Amino acid sequence: MTFRTSVVSIWLAAILGIGAVHAQPVRIGVIGILPDAGIFVAFEKGYFREAGVDLKLEPFVSSVKMLPALSTGELEIATGGVAASLFNGIARGLPIITVADKGSNIVGLSTNAVLLAKSASDRGEVRSIKDLRGKPIAIMGGPGALSEYQWARVLEREGLTLKDVDQKYMSFPDMITALGTGAIVAGMSSEPNITLAVKKGIALKWINWADVQPNHQAGVIFYNVDFARKRPEAARGFMVAYVRGIRAFHDALREGGEKKAELVRIMIKHTNLKDPEVYRDIEWSNLNPDGAVIVKSVADQQDFFVKMGRVEKPVPIEKVVDNSFADHAAKVLGPYRR
């Protein structure tokens, strides 16, 4: 531990009223994807321990089983995306609340994009969004998934709706295969799949999601409501450490050098992307350096899913998002300048 780190640890312990020796156990579900960078950086740098949190990373294949584990108390914290299932779960009384950004979009930092099959491009079959009419496109996941919302916003730019295209629900790996065989002409994907598909000559990066809808909230962190209410010190401590991790992430992207190399080593350790060369070409996800969720974006997604019939009973947005923990962390850590 460096002198500066030691000073920060003492300072945080004094502010939070906790000490590393009394670290509280907290379990968080993670999938191991690029937008988890803030968590993994904070974990490897010891920020959680310094904030009085003994964090245990619980691996999940997807967020489908993670939210049920969160709602039953098997996890204190979960990671996932904004989807119809979130709003439906809260409407049914599941004790979950969205508390922090874990993947938003700004120009230059956006992991989502529409991939266009290279074969369709070479034939001149698809030159604009209007050319997608009647053609097969891939929607990640199932009805009510984030990708459904994203595609609807892309299509409406040129007067189309989801009803105007042949929707194929599929996973990331199946999408890459389908692009290569010509079973679909386009698909909404994310990094590192975008970079890998382009490198293989299967697809072209066609439409960057941040150009369609900047300041969109895609990935988030959830707290179990009972955890947040009954263990506020641990809930606040986690958030302070997490926001520190996000800021260290941005420092690494901005300054490069050894900080960027360290970031890549951390991601190689905690994700399935093991090739350091690919990290040079990917577009990273934006993570709010103050941690807060973009409430307007979450509300817009709920409105969309209500209109689609994916959400039957809309819930007040204050029951979906609670930025108080992120606001506390930003106050403790002070302003951050990119």
- pLDDT one-digit tens code per residue, 203-242: 999 999 999 999 999 999 999 999 999 999 999 999 999 9
Q: Which domains does the chain have, with CATH numbers?
A: 3-106+216-333 (3.40.190.10), 112-212 (3.40.190.10)
274 burial type by CB count under 10 A (0-12 exposed, 13-18 middle, 19+ buried): exposed
* pLDDT single digits (tens) 238-280: 999 999 999 999 999 999 999 999 999 999 999 999 999 999 9
Split at pLDDT 50, 70, 90, the class of 9 is low
Q: What integer is the mean pLDDT of 25-54?
A: 97
Q: How many helices (H) and strands (E) does the chain have?
A: 15, 12
pLDDT-based confidence at residue 103 (cuts at 50, 70, 90):
very high
Distances (CA, A) of 321 to 18, 225, 306: 26, 11, 17
Mean predicted confidence (pLDDT) in 110-121: 96
pLDDT at 13: 52
Evaluate whether 220 touches 80 at the Cβ level (below 8 Å).
yes
